[in-house]
């Protein structure tokens, strides 16, 4: 017996021995943790499984310490704790070891806290000193302004709060929100980090550097920094890595051109590049008229980015779109019930609603940016993705050290001049971006040779360049892109810019690595450093707790570079900070080192990243579901199992450019690395086969078919119009599929007939199933009803505990033979809710997996649970007809597991035995059972739940009264009228809004009613809007009226044509019987408050409303989860 089978058996025993959950929702506590909680991925596995998983994971990650160089590094730490020799690589080796520790262990948590403590305390909180001082007789300083100070031509770009709302009395907002200029982050020091404040000085400089002894900055550049050639980044980082870095640096540093001691942007990662550095700029990007907290389409505040390579601005546009996505979703969910759509007409109420939604959406959007800092940016610095690690630092939570002291958080931040110089990474500019910059500079500097530019040339050139920048963020463009009529950019253009950047390898950090075109920029940076009086390179290292350099050779081991620096500076202690940082030896690629920049720079960047996040109260003490809402708090959580080891950028690329990024594309999952390097990394990890490396081709925009004439035409011809879910169904059925995905008529009909004849072998079969639904519904109502003290009536969650669970028992008992854990069978393997969740996952993966945002995790989880379901079906087949066992290990597993669950006669055995009589291969039979179980469980429950919910509405009181009356009658006419109500409920509250097909031919799809046909070509996607088609007055006169007498032939509630649902008659016969039970409850009514409603909203896609629901944890789901009703006994 293989190890995997032994582990599986141990898991089965473990699952059977679990006590029943005692929560009313039927789930264990670990199963309802929010997405932000680092839940144990092995929570539902045996100790043996956990042991084997830990061993396998350890083998993949390698030894915790894999380099003997850490031994002398540790010795150095003990001997020189305040002057660590980073060339011994203790820091990177330590981080690499931490990454290999299981993140849920106590050792990992303590090690993380220690690292965070060291990094956070790199900088003073608050700063000890600032650059410059105020002039006592000067007027009050002006507010930060636009660099070009151009007036807005039309004067209408800012639609600020209407006059009627200004000064109006209003209560304080419930949430804690960011101020536009970054002020108030530290309530005790509200100006700390506010835009327009002086730069901090992190390091006290004691080493005098007389101006007459310093080398010419142009000479420093030409001899130490200027590139002689282009060298690609050793880790294969793409230029998109540093486009993102541009967003980081541009929101942290904006030196006032009139007063270089001041920073005109905030000192926080608050997306000021998107939202602006003050209230005036923020007003310019906001569409306050909407009342929905929106930005103008694809608008952004940061005008400087227009003058850098275009990928940075394209990324910023993605964040602009994400803000509006978040704002719209917040309004649709309306978690606290304070907002209305459409917004209030009263100007004060409208302005308040707009402000609250905007500010909440900003917090959530910043949460996404923060997730990217650690999931993409810092992870790239440490090379985690290359090593297959989803580990992430956690700098957010309270930390108490072993001595009892706490590491503070939320104290604020103030950017310093030293880090202003550090974040100038011009050596990493990609070859394509160098050419782009050269074109820009030739125009700005009137073709003057780059090596002849002087500081006096800079201001006129900048002024000339700024004249080309549109000050209006609603109309501003970049890199030749054009806005569309609605103000947005074309998806094709944004994807092209971003994918080009992914294909372009960044430059390498190194001495003599900065492009010559940037000579004047580098000279200006060095001159700024001298004006600010920054510390030397060795003083900076001492500040970081690193060993100071004893020689130029220790700083840079290349003899020519070291000797050149000696000629320029004479002594190592004279080496200036700017060239010292830029030309230092770089960390080699290896464990704990991925960005490969200078040793000093690496240590400083990580310290600053932690300080920026841990020092920001909106990422620590005020980062709560109360401020971001339950959904928003979880929306920006990292997913370590997303196919990208927890990177956060893929989610936004999938979300906002879904036609351009397939779910398994490395362009989306690893955009910060070139595809070829990603291929090498994934090959080394042994998972390369799971990914697509081709540059994505845009999928066509779906064409809409919204009449029954057109739908029946499309769905009636599988030769012309193909299903979209075949691959996912085959994934879950060991490659076989199911007849609902077969396009060949003979194969489809053969399996369809086999399944239906096996399920309905006689005329009595339907009656047997009807009796099951009736008895199980009655049983579950009786079992799960309860009373609340002091409240009249009896309550039951009719959806979660009755309708959904009835469908679980149908599939588990009659089709598969899953040993359920119930009160009657406490030693079962899975609880009823677990099986419901599994079937929901499988159905979603196959039939609703159309958006790439969740595609990877959906398929991964579905495959895992699909394999479990396959094994259980094969086991039951072997019990029902032993000769069908396709895998000898299944027989052995069955024999052993029968000791836990004796093989009594199961309800599924007749069905499975009938299937087995066909003599078909076991894999074929298993595939058909999987397809039938998935396709007749949760979607069936959804249809029933939505019909019940529909008729519980007060607006349907008359229809509900008629239904209650019909439930007491059993004559044929009453039964048919009841079925008519079910059909109408399904039409007006459908279980699916539409279905997709792909055209295999060029064709004209007739719509009827004199409308022009829909023209399609091969590869076109057709969205068939069933909801809208069944609201067409041509087919359904007075379409919004409930009329149970409409002809049965009018409906297409369960699909149409060749792949129409095989269970239409089954549902027609059984659903009314469930309604009879439910609506026979005396004085049935909704429970008061939120419990009496199926929480959710309508999401409009392709012009069609599609219902979405909220789960118990506040996430979105297509599946109704809960509806409590009250009845009298």
Residue with tokens 């209408």: 156
Name the DSSP letter for residue 215.
Answer: P
Check: CB of residue 688 under 8 Å from CB of residue 679: yes
Over 50: is that where the pLDDT of 823 sits?
yes
Q: Decide if 255 contacts 262 (C-beta within 8 A).
A: yes
**What's the rounded Cα separation, in Å, for the pair 242 and 868?**
43
CA 252 to CA 255: how far, in whole Å? 10
pLDDT single digits (tens) 95-141:
777 777 777 777 777 777 887 888 888 878 888 777 876 766 655 54
Beta strands in 646-743 (DSSP E): 703-705, 721-722
Structure tokens at 373: 């800092």
Residue owning tokens 């050149």: 564
**Which residue blocks in 695-830 are alpha helix, DSSP H?**
708-715, 726-732, 745-759, 764-784, 804-809
Q: How far apart, in Å, are the Cα atoms of 1106 and each of 40, 65, 178, 714, 988?
A: 34, 52, 34, 21, 12
Mean pLDDT of 131-155: 52
Does residue 891 have a pLDDT over 70?
no
64 vs 607 pLDDT, higher one: 607
- What are the backbone dihedrals phi and psi of residue 691, each rounded to the nearest 5 degrees, phi first? -120, 160
Phi-psi map region of 256: left, alpha, beta (phi>0 left; psi -120 to 50 alpha): beta
The string of DSSP letters for 568-633 reads: HHSSGGG-BHHHHHHTSPBPPSBTTB-S--BHHHHHHHHHHHHHHHHT-TTTTTT-SHHHH-HHHH
Task: Identify whether the C-beta of residue 786 lies closer than 8 Å to the C-beta of residue 795.
Answer: yes
Binding residues for heme b, as ranges, are 426
CA pair distance 1020, 659, nearest whole angstrom: 12
CB-based contacts of 1028: which residues, under 8 Å, 6+ apart? 706, 994, 1103, 1104
CA angle 831, 835, 838 (to 5 degrees): 140
Does the pLDDT value for residue 294 go beyond 50? Answer: yes
CB of 418 within 8 A of CB of 577? yes
Residue pair 1075/978 in contact (Cβ under 8 Å)? The answer is yes
Higher pLDDT residue, 962 or 114? 962
Token pair of 920 as six digits: 């078909």
Cα 384-593-242 angle, rounded to 5 deg: 80
Q: How large is the angle between the packed helices 106-120 and 599-614, nearest 10 degrees?
A: 100
Q: Is the pLDDT of residue 15 over 70?
A: yes
* CA distance linking residue 449 with residue 441, whole number of Å: 10
Q: Is the predicted pLDDT of residue 1112 greater than 90, yes or no?
A: no
CA dihedral defined by 99, 102, 106, 109, rounded to 10 degrees? 30
pLDDT at position 959: 97
Q: What's the CA gap between 698 and 700, in Å, rounded?
A: 6
132 exposure class (CB count in 10 Å sphere: 0-12, 13-18, 19+): middle
pLDDT class of 64 with cuts at 50, 70, 90: very low
Q: CA–CA separation, 889 vs 1029, rounded Å?
A: 50
Task: Please state, in angstroms and rounded to a whole number, the distance separating the CA atoms of residues 128 and 543.
Answer: 13
Residue list, annotated binding site:
426
Task: Residue 241: name the closest of 518, 458, 506, 50 by CA.
Answer: 506
Beta strands 406-407 and 399-400 are antiparallel
Examine the pLDDT at 707 and tell me if it is beyond 70. Answer: yes
pLDDT at 1114: 86
Rg (CA), the chain: 33
d(CA 370, CA 585): 30
Instruction: Work out the number of other CB atoms within 10 angstroms of the CB of residue 300.
Output: 24
Pairing of strands 721-722, 994-999: antiparallel
Tell me how far apart the alpha carbons of residues 883 and 922 are, in angstroms, rounded to a whole number: 10
Q: Single out the residue of 1026, 1112, 1052 nearest to residue 800, CA to CA.
A: 1112
Boundaries of every domain in the chain: 3-120, 163-205+225-385+403-531+587-627
Q: E-assigned strands of 371-484?
A: 399-400, 406-407
In whole angstroms, give the CA distance from residue 987 to residue 1040.
10
> Around Cβ 114, how many Cβ atoms within 10 Å?
16
Residues 628-673 pLDDT 10s:
999 999 999 989 889 999 999 999 999 999 999 999 999 999 999 9
Reply yes or no on whether the pLDDT at 73 is more than 60: no
CB-CB neighbours of 276 under 10 Å = 25
Q: How many Cβ atoms are within 10 Å of 914's Cβ, its own excluded?
A: 18
3-class SS at 990?
coil
CA torsion sign, 1043 to 1047 to 1049 to 1050?
negative
Mean local confidence (pLDDT), 162-183: 77
pTM recorded for the entire structure: 0.91
> Angle at which helices 311-333 and 239-252 pack, to 10 degrees?
70
Peptide bond into 126 cis (omega under 30): yes
Inter-residue contact 1008 to 710 (CB < 8 Å): yes
Vertex 97 angle, CA 94 and 98, to 5°: 85
Computed over every residue of the chain, the mean pLDDT equals 89
Burial of 792 (0-12, 13-18, 19+ CB in 10 A): exposed
| First-to-final CA distance of the chain | 55
893-933 pLDDT tens trace: 555 455 555 556 899 999 999 999 999 999 999 999 999 99
C-alpha dist (Å) from residue 305 to 67, 153, 243, 477, 1036: 42, 21, 10, 11, 55
Biggest CA-to-CA distance, the chain: 108
- Helix (H/G/I), strand (E/B), else coil: 997: strand
Of residues 308, 226, 238, 232, the one with CA closest to residue 273: 308
Beta bridge partners of 1005: 1014
Residues in the chain: 1129
Q: Tell me the pairing of strands 994-999 and 294-295.
A: unpaired
Distance of CA 832 to the CA centre of its chain: 29
- Average pLDDT of 32-47? 62
Q: Indicate if the pLDDT at residue 887 is higher than 80.
A: no
Question: Which of 522, 628, 510, 501 is CA-nearest to residue 36?
Answer: 628
**Which pLDDT belongs to residue 488?**
98
CB 507 within 8 A of CB 231: yes
Residue 82 vs residue 657, higher pLDDT: 657
Neighbour count for residue 439 (Cβ, 10 Å): 11
Mean pLDDT of 323-348: 95
Comparing C-alpha atoms, which of 934, 932, 954 is closest to residue 942? 934
Gap between the Cα atoms of 820 and 15, Å rounded: 10
Cβ pair 994, 1024 in contact under 8 A: yes
**Residue 1074: which of 937, 951, 948 has the closest Cα?**
948
Residue 545 is given by DSSP the state: T
pLDDT tens digits for range 1028-1086: 999 999 999 999 999 999 999 999 988 888 888 888 899 999 999 999 999 999 999 99
Confidence grade of residue 144 (pLDDT, cut at 50, 70, 90): very low
Task: List the structure tokens of 584.
Answer: 């230092």
């Amino acid at each position: 017996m293989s190890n995997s089978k032994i582990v599986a058996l141990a898991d089965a025993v473990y699952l059977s021995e679990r006590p029943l959950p005692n929560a009313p929702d039927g789930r264990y506590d670990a199963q309802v943790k929010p997405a932000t909680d680092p839940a144990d991925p092995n929570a539902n596995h045996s100790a043996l499984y956990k042991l084997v998983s830990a061993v396998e994971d350890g083998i993949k990650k390698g030894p915790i310490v894999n380099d003997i160089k850490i031994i002398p590094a540790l010795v150095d730490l003990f001997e020189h704790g305040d002057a660590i020799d980073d060339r011994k690589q203790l820091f990177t080796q330590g981080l690499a070891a931490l990454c290999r520790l299981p993140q849920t262990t106590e050792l990992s948590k303590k090690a993380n806290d220690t690292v965070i403590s060291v990094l956070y305390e790199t900088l003073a909180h608050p700063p000890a000193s600032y650059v410059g001082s105020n002039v006592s007789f000067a007027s009050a300083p002006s507010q930060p302004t636009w660099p070009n100070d151009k007036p807005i031509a039309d004067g209408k770009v800012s639609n600020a709060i209407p006059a009627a709302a200004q000064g109006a009395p209003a209560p304080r907002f419930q949430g804690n929100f960011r101020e536009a200029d970054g002020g108030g982050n530290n309530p005790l020091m509200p100006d700390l980090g506010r835009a327009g404040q002086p730069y901090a000085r992190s390091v006290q400089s004691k080493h005098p550097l007389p101006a007459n002894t310093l080398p010419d900055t142009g000479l420093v550049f030409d001899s130490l920094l200027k590139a002689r050639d282009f060298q690609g980044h050793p880790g294969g980082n793409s230029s998109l890595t540093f486009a993102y870095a541009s967003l980081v640096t541009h929101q942290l540093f904006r030196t006032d051109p009139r007063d270089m001691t001041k920073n005109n942007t905030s000192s926080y990662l608050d997306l000021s590049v998107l939202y602006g550095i003050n209230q005036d700029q923020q007003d310019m990007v906001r569409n306050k008229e909407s009342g929905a907290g929106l930005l103008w389409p694809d608008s952004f505040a940061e005008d400087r980015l227009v003058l850098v390579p275009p990928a940075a601005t394209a990324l910023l546009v993605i964040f602009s779109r994400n803000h509006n996505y978040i704002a719209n979703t917040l309004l649709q969910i309306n978690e606290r019930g304070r907002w209305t759509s459409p917004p209030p007409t009263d100007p004060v109420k409208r302005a308040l609603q707009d402000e609250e939604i905007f500010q909440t959406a900003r917090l959530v959007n910043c949460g996404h940016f923060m997730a990217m800092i650690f999931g993409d940016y810092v992870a790239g610095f440490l090379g985690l993705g290359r090593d297959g690690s989803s580990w992430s630092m956690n700098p957010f939570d309270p930390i108490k050290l072993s001595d009892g002291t706490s590491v503070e958080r939320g104290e604020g931040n103030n950017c310093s001049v030293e880090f202003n110089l550090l974040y100038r990474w011009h050596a990493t500019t990609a070859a394509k971006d160098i050419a782009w910059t050269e074109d820009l500079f030739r125009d700005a500097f009137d073709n003057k040779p780059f090596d002849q530019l002087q500081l006096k040339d800079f201001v006129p050139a900048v002024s000339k360049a700024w004249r080309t920048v549109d000050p209006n963020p609603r109309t501003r463009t970049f890199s030749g892109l054009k806005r569309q009529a609605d103000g947005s950019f074309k998806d094709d253009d944004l994807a092209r810019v971003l994918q080009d950047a992914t294909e372009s390898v960044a430059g390498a950090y190194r001495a003599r690595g900065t492009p010559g075109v940037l000579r004047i920029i580098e000279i200006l940076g060095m001159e700024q450093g001298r004006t600010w009086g920054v510390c030397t390179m060795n003083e900076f290292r001492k500040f970081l707790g690193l060993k100071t350099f004893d020689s130029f050779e220790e700083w840079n081991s290349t003899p020519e570079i070291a000797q050149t620096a000696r000629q320029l500076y004479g002594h190592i202690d004279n080496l200036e900070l700017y060239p010292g940082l830029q030309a230092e030896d770089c960390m080699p690629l290896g464990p704990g080192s991925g960005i490969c920049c200078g040793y000093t720079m690496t240590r400083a960047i990580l310290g600053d990243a932690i300080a920026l996040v841990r020092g920001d109260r909106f990422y620590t003490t005020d980062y709560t579901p109360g401020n971001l809402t339950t959904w928003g708090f979880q929306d920006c959580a990292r997913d370590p199992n997303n196919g990208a080891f927890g990177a956060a950028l893929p989610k936004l690329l999938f979300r906002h450019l879904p036609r351009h990024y397939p779910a398994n594309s490395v362009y989306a999952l690893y955009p910060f690395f070139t595809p070829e390097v990603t291929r090498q990394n994934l090959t080394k990890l042994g998972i390369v086969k799971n990914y697509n490396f081709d540059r994505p081709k845009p999928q066509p925009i779906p064409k809409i078919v919204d009449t029954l004439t057109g739908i029946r035409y499309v769905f009636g011809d599988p030769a012309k119009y193909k299903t979209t879910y075949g691959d996912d169904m085959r994934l879950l059925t060991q490659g076989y599929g199911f007849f609902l995905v077969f396009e060949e008529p003979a194969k489809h009909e053969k399996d369809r007939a086999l399944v239906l004849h096996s399920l309905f072998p006689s005329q009595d079969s339907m009656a047997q199933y009807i009796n099951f639904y009736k008895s199980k519904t009655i049983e579950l109502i009786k079992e799960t009803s309860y009373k609340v003290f002091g409240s009249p009536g009896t309550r039951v969650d009719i959806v979660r505990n009755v309708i959904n669970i009835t469908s679980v028992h149908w599939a588990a008992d009659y089709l598969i033979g899953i040993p359920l854990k119930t009160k009657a069978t406490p030693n079962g393997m899975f609880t009823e809710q677990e099986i419901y969740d599994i079937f929901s996952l499988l159905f979603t993966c196959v039939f609703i997996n159309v958006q790439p945002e969740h595609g990877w995790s959906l398929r991964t989880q579905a495959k895992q649970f699909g394999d479990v379901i396959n094994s259980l079906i094969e086991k039951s087949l072997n019990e029902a007809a032993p000769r069908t066992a396709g895998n000898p290990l299944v027989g052995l597993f069955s024999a052993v597991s029968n000791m836990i669950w004796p093989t009594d006669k199961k309800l599924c055995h007749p069905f499975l035995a009938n299937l087995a009589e066909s003599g078909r291969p076991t894999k074929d039979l298993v595939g058909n059972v999987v397809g039938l179980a998935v396709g007749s469980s949760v979607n069936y429950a959804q249809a029933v739940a939505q019909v019940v919910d529909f008729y519980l509405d007060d607006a349907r009181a008359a229809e509900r009264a008629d239904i209650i009356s019909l439930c007491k009658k059993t004559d044929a006419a009453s039964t048919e009228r009841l079925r008519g109500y079910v059909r109408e409920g399904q039409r007006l509250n459908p279980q699916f809004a539409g279905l997709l097909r792909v055209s295999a031919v060029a064709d004209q799809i007739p719509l009827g009613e004199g409308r022009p046909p829909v023209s399609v070509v091969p590869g076109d996607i057709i969205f068939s809007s069933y909801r809208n088609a069944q609201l067409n007055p041509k087919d359904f006169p007075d379409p919004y009226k409930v009329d149970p007498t409409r002809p049965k032939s009018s409906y297409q509630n369960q699909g149409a044509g060749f792949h129409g649902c095989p269970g239409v008659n089954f549902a027609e016969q059984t659903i009314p019987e469930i309604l009879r039970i439910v609506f026979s409850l005396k004085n049935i009514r909704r429970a008061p408050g939120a419990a009496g409603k199926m929480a959710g909203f309508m999401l409009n896609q392709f012009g069609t409303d599609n219902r979405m629901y909220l789960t118990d944890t506040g996430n979105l789901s297509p599946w109704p989860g809960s509806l409590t009703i009250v009845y009298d006994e």
